[in-house]
Amino acid sequence: MFFSKKKFRLASMIACGILASALFTGCGEQSGGGGEKAAGDEIVVGANFELTGNHAQYGANANNGLKLAIKEVNDAGGIGGKKIKIVEADAKSEAAESVNAATKLISDDKVVALVGPAVTANVIAESQVATDSMVPIIAPAATNPDVTVENGKVKPYVFRSCFIDPQQSEVMAQFARKDLMANTAVLYLDSSSDYSKSLGKIFKEHFEADGGTVVMEEAFLAKDQDFKAALTKIQTANADVIFVPAYYEEVGKIVKQARELGINAAILGTDGWDDSKVTDIAGKDALNNTFFCTHYFEGDAEVQPFIKAYKAEYNNDPNVFAALGYDAGKMLVNAIEKGGNDSQKIRDNIEAITDLQVGTGKITMDAATHNPIKGIVVIETKNGVRELRTKIAPVSPEAEK
């Protein structure tokens, strides 16, 4: 999110060199990844999440979802008489620290698989170390296509439990044009976030390809508090919709301040909106005429078991990061249950996932892209209550587009 690919590779190479010196062997020479790591009474997996720093709220929630999925299988007796042990490491919301954490989990803790981090940049940073060590990664919430596919080639050990940015943006562009009959749009993007910029770019492409016009683009920075100067400019555009692909903290403030200025246009977003705190920040009335796409609708019967279990465990409602962390945990458990007692078998079994029931619905893994084939929902908020506006059936993601 904040580092170039060259810096990702450099950080990974440095960490790999450290690992090689410590073990007197190259990272790429570890045959089978975790072939002997699950020989005892436990199967050891790594949770590499942002537990401190700017993205701690995302990492902590995803980590909670993962821990719940593992707790459920352990409470039921484990797998083949073995319990799954989670070793946690703090990625500290930094790419370089994500590499350090992954290196420790693989070399010192002997994990057979990694889950996390939460955000794109940190997953990409750790992916070379994990790939060289042949240890699979499941990224719960990293939506950029580059996480699993680079230069048109799938990364063999990297998977995800979320859909990708192009799917979200295409859905919302089509929703704006066909459901809301919008002809004009404004983009209001977080210029410090690759997530936001990628979503904005793809939304514009699809919206204009469908005959709409993006009449203005404005930007803000994560952690900004006052958005009224930019919103005043946006108001002059008099656009039909405003697309704000960002995370809930800023979204709540933006929506609140937009309504205070008298902006009544529909405001659209993506899965970063999916947290009940948006209502706390923006207020119920301000969220009328807002829409966002996400991974599940909390009213669906198939997601109720996860929601109830999460509330019972943590005494609060799950957000999208918690749900996707849980999904990643269920995918990992399934891979281990199907004979995944080492890293290579786990990798193979994740790639072969078909019609697996997870917390947010059912997932099939696209072996060509390592992205899940899953449905998308569009949520409308009315007087503080979320309602299902539309549901899009699962389609195979095409990461190269």
Q: Are 336 and 81 in contact (CB under 8 A)?
A: no
Sign of CA dihedral 132, 136, 140, 145: positive
What's the CA gap between 152 and 394, in Å, rounded?
22
The number of distinct structural domains making up the chain is 2
* 399 belongs to a structural domain: no
145 and 83, same structural domain? yes
Of 3 and 212, the structure prediction assigns the larger pLDDT to 212
Is residue 235 domain-shared with residue 171, that is, in the same domain? Answer: yes
Question: What H or E segment, with its residue span, contains residue 391?
Answer: strand 385-392
Length of the chain: 401
Residue 398 within any structural domain of the chain = no
Highest mean pLDDT among 14-23, 62-71, 265-274: 62-71
Q: Answer yes or no: do 202 and 334 share one domain.
A: no
> pLDDT of 169-193, one tens digit each?
999 999 999 999 999 999 999 998 8
User: Is 187 found in the same domain as 115?
Assistant: no
Do 48 and 197 fall within a single domain? no
What's the CATH number where 64 sits? Answer: 3.40.50.2300
- Could you tell me if residue 62 is inside a domain? yes
Taking every pair of Cα atoms in the chain, the longest distance, rounded to a whole number of angstroms, is 66
The whole domain housing 237 covers: 165-294+376-392
**Which is higher by pLDDT, 38 or 122?**
122
Burial of 13 from C-beta contacts in 10 A (0-12 / 13-18 / 19+): middle
3 state SS of 388: strand
b/e string for 101-130 if b means 16 or more Cβ within 10 A?
Answer: bbbbbbbeebbbbbbbbbbbbbbbbbbbbb
The pLDDT of residue 181: 97
Q: What's the confidence (pLDDT) of residue 395?
A: 59
User: Which pLDDT band holds residue 114 (cuts at 50, 70, 90)?
Assistant: very high
Q: Are 221 and 190 in contact (CB under 8 A)?
A: yes
Q: The tokens 């503080």 sit on which residue? A: 384
Residue 195's pLDDT band (cuts 50, 70, 90): confident
Q: Tell me, yes or no, whether 66 and 142 share the same domain.
A: yes
| Mean pLDDT (whole number) for 117-123 | 94
Residue 252 lies in a domain: yes
How many whole angstroms separate alpha carbon 389 and alpha carbon 179? 10
- The pTM assigned to this predicted structure is 0.83
Asked whether residue 35 is assigned to any structural domain, the reply reads yes
What is the mean predicted confidence (pLDDT) over 260-285?
93
**Whether residues 264 and 384 fall in one domain:** yes
397 belongs to a structural domain: no
Alpha helices in 210-337 (DSSP H): 228-237, 248-260, 277-282, 304-314, 320-337
218 in the same domain as 125: no
Domain co-membership, 201 together with 61: no
Residues 27 and 144 in one domain: yes
In which order are the strands placed within the sheet that holds 362-366?
356-357, 362-366, 371-373
DSSP string over 128-178? HHHHHTT--EEESS---GGGTEETTEE-TTEEESS--HHHHHHHHHHIIII
Say whether both 154 and 173 belong to one domain: no
How far is residue 321's CA from residue 351's CA, in Å, rounded to a whole number? 22
Per-residue pLDDT tens over the stretch 25-71: 333 333 344 444 445 689 999 999 999 998 898 999 999 999 999 99
| Other CB atoms within 10 A of residue 196 CB | 27
User: Do 219 and 148 lie in a common domain?
Assistant: no
